Amino acid sequence: IQALQISENKIIKTKMLSRACFRQFSASIRRMSSTNIVETNIDSGTGFATVTLSQPPVNSLDKNLLTAITDRFKKLSDDSSVTGAILTSKFDGKVFSAGLNIVDMFQKSDDHLGEFWGMVQEWYLTIQGFPKPLVSAINGHAPTGGCAMALMSDYRVMVEGKTIGLNETLLGIVAPFFFADLMIAAVGRRHAEFALNNGYLYTSDEALKIGLVDEVVNLDQVVPTALKILTKMTKTPQPAYQVCKNFLRKETMDTLRNDRAGDIAHFVGFVQQPNVQKAIGGYLQALKQRKK
Q: Which residues bind ligand L4P3G6V5 (CB under 6 A)?
A: 57-58, 60, 94-95, 98-103, 141, 143-145, 168, 171, 173-176, 267, 270-271, 287-288, 290-291
Tell me how far, at minimum, the Cβ of 4 lies from ligand L4P3G6V5, in Å: 54
76, 100, 171, 201: the active-site residue: 100
What is the closest distance, in whole angstroms, from the C-beta atom of residue 166 to ligand L4P3G6V5 in the complex?
8
- Determine phi and psi for 47, rounding to 5 degrees: 80, 15
Integer Cα distance of 133 and 86 in angstroms: 9
Question: C-alpha distances in angstroms, 215 versus 52, 108, 235, 258?
Answer: 20, 39, 20, 35
Active-site residue identified among 84, 99, 145, 165: 145
**Are 70 and 122 contacting, i.e. CB atoms less than 8 angstroms apart?**
yes
The residue (of 202 and 241) whose beta carbon lies closer to ligand L4P3G6V5 is 202
Q: How far is the CB of 104 from ligand L4P3G6V5 (least distance, A)?
A: 8
Question: 174 vs 208, which CB is nearer to ligand L4P3G6V5?
Answer: 174
Q: Which of 99, 101, 113, 168 is catalytic?
A: 168
Cβ distance to ligand L4P3G6V5 smaller for residue 99 or 129: 99
Rank residues 46 and 203 by Cβ distance to ligand L4P3G6V5 and give the closer one. 203
User: Whose Cβ is closer to ligand L4P3G6V5: residue 32's or residue 174's?
Assistant: 174
* Minimum distance, C-beta of residue 87 to ligand L4P3G6V5, in the bound complex (Å): 16
| Structure letter (DSSP) for residue 164 | E
Q: How far is the CB of 56 from ligand L4P3G6V5 (least distance, A)?
A: 9
Question: Is residue 192 within 8 Å of residue 154, measured between CB atoms?
Answer: no
Closest CA to 141 of 95, 200, 88: 95
Rounded Cα distance, 199 and 168, in Å: 6
Note if 145 is an active site residue: yes
287 tagged catalytic = no
Q: What whole-number distance in Å separates Cα of residue 152 and Cα of residue 127?
A: 6
Integer Cα distance of 207 and 188 in angstroms: 13
Residue 182 annotated to the active site:
no
User: Which residues, other chains included, contact 214 with Cβ-Cβ below 8 Å and sequence gap of 6+?
Assistant: 155, 156, 157, 208, 229
**Catalytic residue at 168?**
yes
Active site residues: 100, 145, 167-168
